[in-house]
Structure 1
Amino acid sequence: MYRRFAVICFLILPLSLAVCAQNQTHVSIRFIKENLATVPNEVVNIPLFVKNHNADGMPVVLEIDNPDGWRLITKVELNNLKPQEQKFLVISTRIPTTSAVGKYKLKVRVKNAETGEELADALTSIQVNEVENITLQLIDSPENIRAGEIFRAHYLLSNLGNSEKTVFIETTNCDVDGEANVQLKPGETARISVVKNTSEELAATQKEFITVRAILAGDIKDRVFHPLFIFPVKSHKKDLFFRYPVEASVSYLSSNQNNNYESAYQIEVSGNGFIDTGSKHHLEFLLRGPNNANLSYLGLYDQYYVGYSNKSLELTIGEQSYEFTPLTESSRYGFGVENKVILKNGLSAGFVYVKPRFYESIENEMAVYSKYEKDEYNKVAIYAVQKKHTDIDDPAYLFSLSTSFRPFERTTMELEASRGFLGDVADNAYRANLNTQFSIFNFGGSYNYAGKNYPGYYTNSTFYSASFSAQLLPKINVGVYARQDFSNAQLDTFFVTAPYSRSMQYFLNYNIASQMYLKIYWRESERKDRLSAEKFHYETRSLNSQFSHKIKRFSCSLQGAYGKTTNFLLADFTNKQNTYRVSTNLGYQFNTKHSVRAFGTYSNLNSFVTGEQRDVTAGMSVNSQIFKKLKASVYLQNAYNIDDYYRNRNLMQAQFDYSITKNHNLILRAYNTLFKTETENSEFFISATYKQKIGVPLKQIVKAGDVLGRITNASGEPMEGIIVSFFNKSAITGQNGEFQFRSVTPGVYLLNIDRSKFAIDEMPGVSVPLQVEVVANEEVNINIGITKGAKLTGKFAIKERNSEMLQVGNIILELKSEFKSYRITANSQGEFSFPLVIPAAWTLKIYPNSVPKGFEIEKMLYQFDFKPGDQIDLQIDVSARKRNVIFKSQNISLSTKGSGGLKTLSLSNASKIEPADKEDEIFYSIQIGSFKKRVDASSHFFKGHGFDIEKQINNLYKYFIGRYSSLQEAIIENDKLKKQFRGAFVVKFKNDMSVNGIDKQ
């Protein structure tokens, strides 16, 4: 039985192997590289192997399934596969420009060429990566407009990349007309328009630079920049006087302080400027009254002062803030006098006296001082000060020595030391400031100290601040900052001392990207109210962060803090609490005229003791140019931070500014304000101010006249929009064809007209540039008519006896009128064409010396009386010059012998036969150039002069200007031409041949 089973297996096994062999793949395809990557518009090469695993050869065909739109660069053929043969193939395909980002499949098949049976297939993927290509093109834009018109330009924005993009359109000196964010699919384009409003009040031609940028993810992808000229439409006369600037205003003030309505009027006159044309004498003054100090937020108390200065003297008298030194008297408002004398060597000395107005504890102060200033950074000063207090008999005396210097290029220091005496008691004060930068490090610090018995501006005070930072990487900056403020200052009663504070801060700043910043810092701080009824005294330790970013027109700033606060005004065990604070500031710029900002804060600081503590603060502000002459700004806030109650806090503020004319303004203001130290009972203020700018004439410095004109066409109708240039100024004609140039300095100038809007055959009826003489205090009227020009063309031709016309060239012609002349040279075919000329009487002159040797022209002058639109084609005949031959007697005897009695001339005698008109012709010309190759008359070398004679001498092409009968005449002209041609010299010609150069004569 086992034998039978073995026999059956032996018979079945070969049969199974044969069946398996029949099912085995005859052909295989293998890609060498998988997951290829490329970009649009590139050629990608795909290598692969095709192998025949069969023992027999076979005819095959290769098929390639490309993604839609893709095309093969080369034709790949596969005809026969031999037994066990493997072939290497490369498929090259170009990626279309419009192919979007993504993976694309490419399939390859091998089929039996005879039966069509598919023998093998394989699939590969090709990754098309992203390509960004945003372009911006200017379609149309006016080059110039008139003041008051709206400028409008159009651009074509194109996405030539392969992914959908949102492009932001950013502009300078114009606004986008419509949405600034434009979404484009691959291959898509969009039309963009920009606009710009202009003011009719424009006084002079203005050149604006219009810029439009296409921005993608904060990067500028393309930009278009072009200039725009804005021409004034109103007449503005130049001020002929030197004026002193003065500003006068009258205000109506009102307030509801303490629920009582109060109002008042106030007048103010001020001036600030030089009182001489050489800017040597400066005058400043202010006159304001009557007194309205009860409307104190506006700060409009009465004030009167005047100040004068020149390079040697400074003098001030009246009410203002006077300064001595930061330690002795930082700022004291009152009635005073200051006189300072300045010497040429950097030394100065002065005297100051002031009677305080708002600080009643001081009766008066005076000081004498001397300074030495080497330059802006290196100075030294010494002060001696006396203070007379109202409640102390003995005056206080203070002495101060201060200096500032710059020991190194990036290091500055400032020092002050002072000692004060009050009776038998004396004390000191010191001040120091340092700022330095070295390598990647920056350090800045200040220190102020005043002893408890020091009788200066500060007493019993200590203030310091210091910061140290290092720029570790281009985008990373780290550092530490410390500060303490404990200052007792003799401030005027209009101010309140800031609270005591100290803080320590460790920070890290990271510049994430362009206009994107992140700041992280640990902060330890203490703040204490220094008023008698304390509102706060707390200490906080917190981790803080701040993020700011500007995206196109949107800007944002986010701040956060988390930590723990100890409130020292609460009982123990209840005075510690977690602290957190979140604030935001968001802004949006609609365009150059309108913007809005919103802000808010949410906090829990456990810092204050008050009946109504608010934890949420929110508000917004708006700035808008409503009309051309009206500006407005509004600020609103729902609450306030009690921490800031030592300063004024606005809950509402609005201002409207209307420009009636250039020098007249109307301003309306309104405030709702919490005063310093107040937490309740806000007060409301309204003011209306009319302001006028006045220029007081001191001296007439300019004499000037006016130029008025009008441009009309051939039918007498006005021509609008024609640009006229005059004395480095430009104007554009209005609807009546009028233009004007006001306040022009007397003199002779050239007026020119832009012909870009003329028809091709039109031109001004007068010669331009037009010479215009301006006379002081007079008007010059110019009327210019536009007419059709006349055209003269023609050719030279040689007329032979058989009437066959031959051409001759390079002859010089000049067309001349009373005011203008044109000199040209006919071309090698004898043709010539003059520019368009004004219809008038003209003379055509042909230069004889330029006529080719051996030819002559009977008529060398032509007279023309051109009419508008004339087109004359002139033919000038050139004929061969006739020569008469004279046989001179050489003792020839006649005889009947020989050959008819006529004796044959010998060779020597024959050589003496010459033309009857043969004479030595001598003239002079000016050689301006010599070249190895011929130079065309249009070459830049000739600088518009051209040339009159061209000679080839000694293998050089030499060029000459002019034909003069006398040497003296040639020398005079040579001196003129040397300004343009440095190597010009005079050459003598005899019988049309150059003899010698006589440049030295």
Structure 2
Amino acid sequence: MAQFSNQEAREQLVEVRIKADEAGWKLLTDYSSLILPAGKNIRKIVGIFVPYSQTAGSVAVVLEVVEKTSGRVISTESYEFAVQPRYVVAMDVVSAPTQLFAGDTSSIVFLLRNESNLDVETKFSLRVGGEVMTEIIPIRKDGSHLYRYPIKVEKKLAANEQRSIMANVSIDGMDGTYKSTHLQMDVFRVGQEKFDAYNRYNINITGIGAVTTAYGNPIYSGMFDVNGSGFLGNPESNRQLDFKIRGPNRNGNPLFGMNDEYFARYASKLLEVSLGDYNYGMSNLTESSRSGRGVGLLVNLNQFSIGGYYSIPRYYPLIRQIYSGYAMYKWNEKNEVKAGILSKLDTLNHLVSMVSVSARNRFFPWLNTNFEISLGETGSKLQKAYRVGVSVSSKRVGSSVDYTYADTDFPGYFKNTQRLFSYLTFNFSPLTLSLNFNTSRTNQALDTLASKPPITQGAGVTTNVRFLKYFSLNLGGMMSSSKEDSPVPLFDYQRYNGRLGLNANFNKFGLTLHGDGGKLRNYLVDNGTTMTNFFTVNLSSYVSIKNYFMASGNVSYQAGQKGITGSETMYYGISLATDFSEKYSFSLSYNSNFEWMYYSSDRNLLSLSLNAAINDNNKVAFTSNYNLMKNTLDNKTFNAQLRFTHTLRVPISKKKDVGALIGKLVNMGVESVAGVRVSLGGRIAITDKDGNFKLGGIPVGEQTLIVDGTSFGLHTIPERAGPYVVEIIPAKTINFELSVTKSARIEGVFQVEEDQRANQKGFIQVNERLERLVVEASSDKETYRVLSDVDGGFQFEDLRPGIWNVKVYPNGLPKGYNLLTPQFSITLAPEQNEKIVVKVEKKARQIQFQRKF
């Protein structure tokens, strides 16, 4: 319940506005034109919608009553909201190969998104075959993390196969937040590769054309954006250059909503230089990040670094110049200490200086700490500020405490500040219990705004119970208070509310239903004796089909008394997004309406986005919006923007470690030379219909080209025997040619000739049978051996045309047998079937009688 007073002798036409620490807060009822009778007070129930993206914790919300004719603020009223933690994590596959070749190296990139309203630690796991890998990844609120999983396919595989990878992500210790995706890849699907002999630097040149009806008749305008990013030379050199040139300056024109920008950054292992428009900063308490135009320098000496910067803030009017110098020692990625000095020159030429010492440490896997203390002088008086943060994380318990303090006149980023954020979480799967306590009195020197938020306190307890694998139930209760930080506060209230929610997540489909109910006590109206009731129900859902289509929608129904009225209001919206292919994408969103509280900004009723990649170097994007104009309730405008981006791939240097090979299998009378698998240096290609193939990115030096004989047709063979050794030259493409012809065949038989004396007196026949003999066929580079069959036959299949020597080994010949033709020399032609006869003489045994004994 809010009371609006008119102390004047005339009635006033006013509008009620809402302000909060973060965007998205709405009034449920339109109070853009409210009449206050002369000399009277009126009370209204004000319904307030808490945005889905609001950070968990205590939030101060201010209602302003503004006279419409003059814009004068007549009165304000403050409220305190305690937003409970919401745990949601999402996972998208940014890129993944669908086909891999033997010997290939690739990767799968996952995008993990924290859709919770607080910072979380996610548990990410991958199952590849029988191997499982798990990693804990912290992600900030509204933040994301790119996880790249490298894939290496073996060079030798027995057959074509399909491989599977299962990826799972959840918030560590929070049941009901589980998301998963399944990927499959076909192996052995190979093709030719393009080889680029140069290391290249990519420059994106974008032209922007736009139209708007915000001012009545259509207005057309344009802008350019040129940016580049890449390595100077080989990536191993770690010499990177980034730059951006954007203009002309639109000075915040709503047609584009961006200004000019000129920036360049060079980084190497030793040196980092930033020049132009950049977010310069030294530490959280002095200057954490302020947009300015200047120069920055950082020198890395192994674990020790020194740096500094000079900048002119672009959007903060009270500072003319900033100077900074600092040193840092980092003994590993999780432990570092930093010290520095920073000076500011204001618009009155007053110079203030500060010193800062900070440390960030992770001494144990379960313990993280950060600390900073800063001293500065204001008006010859020493002022101080410090910040301490400690977080503990284990399987069952998680806790965090973050405290910031700054003296009243501390000249840094904070002043007159005391702020504490803390929480404690217990995980007793499937039950999770969380408690939090926050208090804040903060004054920050933000760009374009000197912020003095209200004095707030908040405490709450929430439970989450997971059941039936896909479902979770949320229960919570909280208290919060907010008071304007001034001798005569404009608001001072305390708020109590509870929440009941149900979540269902089925991987590709999710549904969330939650309701809120609460009471508010305003100490400035009636010393807090009156309580205001409210109730809200929200339903949201999403569905995704593989990685090509996603849809989401929400419906909000608000009833009861929320501070101004008892009206019932419903809002709904839907969004669609799809990727037709790697080159084309489409998205569409629709909202039924917006509450009047959003009148200070453009409100998107209908939006459309189309993106197309013409080729690797040219992309087109089109966006259009049908909006409610800011500062209006009913005026609608149409905006459209067309962007064309051309990518220049400027050659920087030749590649020194790889080369390429172009090959051809010459058809010498075979049915086909297509589909033959060839490999070189771990790379694989398949020949086209003309026998052509190309292999790029081959390590320099001697390499062995392997031609898979099983890929040929029946009775087909290369004219030259392998292995084929080639010399790969840096940044060069060499040629290789191999003729393919029909194979030849040698067929032979053993012919035994009987001794003519076998039937004469004094001789007897040999009765032992001829056993299987070893027969060898050899050329200059190849040798094959076979055993004759029981009938005395033998064959050599798929022999290369040319000169072959056939040799029969006498080992195994029984006594009485003698080879008459033990060796042959044969010149084979393609498709020739040469028949030979190996003659074996069978000698009769002579019988001799002994005359004397």
With over 3 angstroms needed to count, the CA separation of the structure-2 counterparts of 1:676 and 1:400, relative to structure 1, is farther
Map Cα deviations across residues 932-971 of structure 1 (whole Å, 9 max, x no partner). xxxxxxxxxxxxxxxxxxxxxxxxxxxxxxxxxxxxxxxx
- Give the aligned partner of residue 462 of structure 1: 418
Structure 1 distance, partners of 2:632, 2:667, is 73
Residue 522 of structure 1 and its aligned partner are, at CA, apart by 1.3
Indicate the residue corresponding to 1:621 in structure 2: 575
Match of 1:581 among 528, 531, 536: 536
- How far apart are 1:400 and its partner, in Å? 1.7
C-alpha offsets along residues 678-731 of structure 1, whole Å, 9 cap, x if unaligned? Answer: 9886765432221122222121125745424256584x6655444444443333
Match of 1:656 among 610, 613, 618: 610
Instruction: Report the TM-score when normalising by structure 1.
Output: 0.59
- The counterpart of 1:846, out of the listed 808, 824, 828, is 808
Deviation, 1:809, is 3.4
Q: Who is 2:643 aligned against?
A: 689
1:823 matches 2:785:
yes
Amino acid at match of 1:511: R
The residue type equivalent to 2:204 in the other structure is E
Distance 1:231 1:848, change over 3 A: same
Q: Bigger CA drift: 803-812 or 313-322?
A: 803-812
Tell me whether 649-658 or 329-338 shows the greater mean CA deviation.
649-658
Query: How do 1:225-624 residues align onto structure 2 when only pairs under 5 Å count?
Result: 227-232=186-191, 237-257=194-214, 262-277=219-234, 278-295=236-253, 298-344=256-302, 346-391=303-348, 393-438=349-394, 440-472=396-428, 474-493=429-448, 502-526=457-481, 539-551=494-506, 553-566=508-521, 576-604=531-559, 606-607=561-562, 615-624=569-578
Q: Determine which structure has more spread, i.e. the larger CA radius of gyration.
A: 1
**1:666 pairs with 2:625:** no
What is the CA–CA distance in structure 1 between the aligned matches of 2:443 and 2:795, rounded to whole Å?
93
Pick closer, same or farther for the CA change 1:681–1:497 going to 2, 3 Å. farther
The answer (yes or no) to whether the contact 1:565–1:605 under 8 Å persists in 2 is: no
Change (3 A) 1:620 1:226: closer
Amino acid at match of 1:554: F
Q: 1:880 to 1:374 in 2, by over 3 A?
A: same
Partner SS, residue 398 of structure 1: strand
**Counterpart Cα distance in 2 of 1:535 and 1:840:** 104
> Counterparts in 2 of 1:988-999, with a 5 A limit?
none
Name the count of aligned residue pairs: 673
C-alpha change, 1:793 and 1:464, in structure 2 (3 Å) is: farther
1:766 paired to 2:698: no
1:462 and 1:639, CA in 2 relative to 1: closer, same or farther beyond 3 A? farther
What percent identity do the matched residue pairs reach? 21
Could you tell me how far apart the structure 2 residues matched to 1:293 and 1:613 are? Answer: 41
SS in 2 for 1:490: strand
Measure, in 2, the Cα distance between the counterparts of 1:143 and 1:383.
Answer: 52
Cα distance, 1:397 vs structure 2 = 2.1
Q: Is the 8 A contact 2:300 2:306 kept in 1?
A: yes
Aligned residues of 2:390 and 2:402 also touching (Cα < 8 A): yes
Unaligned runs of 5+ in 1: 1-141, 146-171, 173-204, 214-218, 888-901, 906-1001
**Counterpart residue number, 1:10:** none
Aligned residue type for 1:459: K
User: Taking structure 2 as the reference length, what is the TM-score of the superposition?
Assistant: 0.69
Q: 1:866 to 1:439 in 2, by over 3 A?
A: closer
Deviation readout 1:400-419 (Å, 9 max, x if unpaired)? 22112234331011111222
Point out the more displaced range, 557-566 or 738-747.
738-747
Query: Does 2:573 align with 1:630?
Result: no
Give CA deviations for 1:126-174 in whole Å, capped at 9, x if unaligned: xxxxxxxxxxxxxxxx9999xxxxxxxxxxxxxxxxxxxxxxxxxx9xx
Shift of 1:859: 1.4
C-alpha separation in 1, matches of 2:457 and 2:622: 41
Given that 1:358 and 1:494 are in contact with CA atoms closer than 8 Å, whether structure 2 keeps it comes out as no
Q: CA-atom RMSD, angstroms?
A: 4.4
Paired with 1:790 and 1:781, the residues of 2 have a C-alpha distance of 28
**Cα deviation digits, residues 759-802 of structure 1 (max 9, x gap):** 4xx22252454626467656636364453642535457685647
CA distance in 1, matches of 2:374, 2:465: 42
Identify the range of structure 1 (717-726 vs 664-673) with the bigger mean alpha-carbon deviation. 717-726
Q: Give the deviation of 1:314 after TM superposition.
A: 2.1
Letter in 2 for 1:286: K
Q: What is the letter of the counterpart of residue 514 of structure 1?
A: K
Counterparts in 2 of 1:871-882, with a 5 A limit? Answer: 871=833, 874-879=836-841
Per the alignment, do residues 561 and 415 of structure 1 end up closer, same or farther by CA in structure 2, a change over 3 Å counting?
Answer: same
Q: Where does residue 731 of structure 1 map in the other structure?
A: 685
CA deviation profile, 1:304-338 (whole Å, cap 9, x unmatched): 12222222322212111111111111211111222
Aligned-partner Cα distance in 2 for 1:664–1:535: 56
Is the CA contact (8 Å cut-off) linking 2:100 and 2:185 kept in structure 1? no
Structure 1 Cα separation of the partners of residues 243 and 665 of structure 2: 47
Alignment correspondent of 1:856: 818
Q: In structure 2, how many angstroms separate the alpha carbons of the residues matched to 1:312 and 1:487?
A: 39
Contact 1:497/1:646 (<8 A) preserved? no
SS in 2 for 1:399: strand
Q: Which amino acid aligns with 2:425?
A: S
Distance in 1 (alpha carbons) for counterparts of 2:503 and 2:682: 48
Structure 1: which amino acid aligns with 2:785? R
- 2-side partners of 1:868 and 1:380: how far apart? 77
Q: Which amino acid aligns with 1:461?
A: T
- Tell which deviates more after alignment, 782-791 or 316-325: 782-791
Deviation at 1:659, TM superposition (A): 0.0
Larger fraction in strand: 2
Q: Tell me the distance in 1 between the aligned counterparts of 2:447 and 2:480.
A: 28
Paired residue secondary structure (2:710)? coil
| CA shift digits 1:618-669 (9 cap, x unpaired) | 2111111235522112232234467889998655443211101012111122
Tell me the secondary structure at the aligned position of residue 755 of structure 1.
helix
Q: 1:270 to 1:413 in 2, by over 3 A?
A: same
State the alpha-carbon separation in 2 of the partners of residues 811 and 276 from structure 1.
65
Contact 2:766–2:843 (CA<8 Å) still a contact in 1? no
Question: Judging changes above 3 Å, is the alpha-carbon distance between structure 1 residues 734 and 683 closer, same or farther for their aligned structure 2 residues?
Answer: same
Give secondary structure in 1 for the equivalent of 2:332. Answer: coil
| 2:174 alignment partner in structure 1 | none
What CA deviation, in whole Å up to 9, does each residue of 1:734-780 have, x standing for no partner?
Answer: 45554444576575532414535734xx2225245462646765663
Q: Relative to structure 1, is the Cα distance of residues 752 and 807 closer, same or farther in structure 2, using a 3 angstrom cutoff?
A: farther
Deviation at 1:677? Answer: 9.3
Alpha-carbon separation, structure 1, partners of 2:727 and 2:746: 34
What SS does structure 2 have at the residue aligned with 1:695? strand
